[in-house]
Amino acid sequence: MNFEFDAQTEEMRETITDFARERLAGPEDFDPGEFRRRWRLVGEQGALGTVVPGEYGGLGQGAVTAAAVMEALGYGCTDTGFVFSLGAHVFACLTPIVEFGTAEQKRQWLPPLCSGEYVAAHAITEPEAGSDALSMRTRAERRGDVYVLNGGKSFTTNSPVADVFVVQAATRPGGGCFGLTSFVVEAGTPGLTVGRHYQKVGLRGSPTADVRFDECRVPASQMLGPEGDGFGVFRTSMAWERTCLFALYLGVMRRVLETSVAYAGERQQFGSAIGGFQAVSHRVVDMALRLEAARLLLYRAAWGLDRGSTDEVMPALAKLAVSEAAVQAGLDAVQIQGGLGILHGQAEAALRDALPARIFSGTNEIQKNNIARALGLGEKARPQAHPSRRGKN
């Protein structure tokens, strides 16, 4: 067992941290032009193409390196919403194209998506189909050489600025796991419209909106993977997202932990630094404990992805651990800073930005359901050995 990054990954992580700290600070309110400017900078740095093969403009790295890059971005950039948008672009959109795209689709889409010229959005969630993705109502009907899409999506990250959409639609309603199909749809395609940018409690630097499809005609050549394989595309993207995207919160927690330690060492009460009070010092220790435990789970899941593991338990466990730890870290940071913690600043921002982590990429309650089912609990469950009890994945 080796818990150290290789030399290349370590160098990349340090470079990305410095780059994010110096060049990715964002404005208070979302600004499309500023968002694009920083997006292109990240593309030039190579961070958008981490998992994309070199022949298409990427770095050709694996999940562990991709997670390390996201952790560095989360640590160095205080605009967590912007980093979240980067992760959604890479792991929910580029990764499916890498895994399922045809050679022509890869040549067409991956270079501009890696360079920062294009922004991608993954359209899957619907008002009546969030955790229950198989109940989506967006339809794709084949008519000759095109598919005609009709329906609506909600909570679509990056949609207000997206150039490309990875869309999930039902080609065989009621067909279960084999009834969904994925498509790559260009922004500006007639029949595709994007609603107003959401005002969210957290991740404010990430533009999010509803998307509508009204008789939207998509060439059959833009189908991603075979017809009926959309659920497989979705599961693959979620495995990457629940692992690598959540690494950004490791960086945020590390930053918050450091500022909490510094504050506790400087803030004086009753003639001494509050870090000397057991109630405060134990809270800080618990922050460090949750961070390190979550970090080990996440990189274990990334290690499995790099070895071709199809296990869904470790990504789910990692998502649970990181998101819950991030929320608690925000609460702890606010409590340590007292009145200052509820004013505008890093502590309250960390808490607001962490709250959505328990919801997106499948709610934590759904993750627990999936893990329980994999462990052999519940109706129609088939016992499955816990990853820690298995041999090689």
CATH number at residue 28: 1.10.540.10
Residues 224 and 255 in one domain: no
> pTM of this prediction?
0.93
In a domain, 334, yes or no: yes
What does the alpha-carbon distance between residue 169 and residue 221 come to, in Å, rounded to a whole number? Answer: 15
Residues 132 and 191 in one domain: yes
- Give 168's strand partners: 182
In a domain, 57, yes or no: yes
Convert the pLDDT of each residue in 328-341 to its tens digit.
Answer: 999 999 999 999 89
Residue 392 has what pLDDT?
A: 43
Residues 202 and 282 in one domain: no
Q: How many domains does the chain have?
A: 3
Q: Please name the residues in contact with 58: beta carbons below 8 A apart, sequence gap of 6 or more.
A: 46, 49, 50, 51, 52, 110, 114
CATH number, domain with residue 177: 2.40.110.10
Domain final position from 172, 207, 232: 232
The whole-number mean pLDDT for each consecutive block of 10 residues of the chain, a chain of 393 residues, reads 91 96 89 95 96 96 97 97 97 96 96 97 87 82 96 96 96 84 96 94 95 97 94 90 95 97 95 95 98 97 93 93 98 95 91 96 92 83 45 41
What does the alpha-carbon distance between residue 152 and residue 128 come to, in Å, rounded to a whole number? Answer: 10
Q: Are 86 and 48 in contact (CB under 8 A)?
A: yes
Convert the pLDDT of each residue in 346-371 to its tens digit.
Answer: 899 999 999 999 999 889 999 999 89
Show the domain range for 378.
Answer: 246-389
Q: Which residue out of 71, 241, 312, 348 is catalytically annotated? A: 241
Residues 155 and 264 in one domain: no
Residues 221 and 149 in one domain: yes
Range 141-178 burial, b when 16+ CB lie within 10 A, else e: eeeeebbbbbbbbbbbbbbbbbbbbbbbbbbeeeeeee
Tell me whether residue 324 is one of the annotated catalytic residues: no
Residue 35 has what pLDDT?
A: 96
Q: Which two tokens stand for residue 153?
A: 């999506």
